[in-house]
Every structure is written in structure tokens, then in C-alpha cells.
Amino acid sequence: MAMTTTRHDVEQAAHLLGEEERWDRWMKCGVHDWHALPQTESGEHYCPTCLAFWTADGAIKNVPTQPRTRQ
């Protein structure tokens, strides 16, 4: 049986990366083709690199914030 990724898995992994690392990954990712990204068990698409995710209707969630040290 294949292991499925949950929304919680994506959120937890994002939290573990930390603010600066997530921001760096987000900036390197550029524009996402969210339809082409893998899906969580509940049908949301997510980027395995920057760990942002999109709802089934394309609303982006879990976007990293720019670290204060870089503003």
C-alpha cells in the first residue's frame, strides 16, 4: 500500500524548515503550475520543495512570509 501525504504532513514539514529556509525555497520555486503538483490525501495540491499548497479550486495556502531579517 502506497503512503499518502496529508495536509498535516505538509504543514508540519513547512514548520520544521523554519522561516528563512522556506522563504528561500519559495523564491527559488517561482510560479507554480499547481495542477501539475502532487496531491494530498484530501485533494489539495502541494509543492514538495517550498511546501505551499493549493485548495481544489486553486486558492493558495500556507505561503511563507518574508523573514524580518530580509525586509
Q: Would you give per-residue pLDDT tens digits along the chain (71 residues)?
A: 456 899 999 999 999 998 999 999 999 999 999 999 999 999 999 999 999 999 989 999 889 989 887 65
- The domain tally of the chain equals 1
Cβ pair 40, 62 in contact under 8 A: no
51, part of any domain: yes
Give the pLDDT score at 1.
42
44, part of any domain: yes
Which three cell numbers, joined as nine digits, stand for 30? 517561482
Range of the domain at 36: 7-70
Backbone angles phi, psi at 53, to 5 degrees: -140, 160
- In 3D space, the residue among 67, 41, 71, 68 whose CA is nearest the CA of residue 53 turns out to be 41
Give the pLDDT score at 25.
95
Which three cell numbers, joined as nine digits, stand for 52? 505551499
Cβ pair 52, 32 in contact under 8 A: yes
1, part of any domain: no
**pTM of the model as a whole:** 0.85
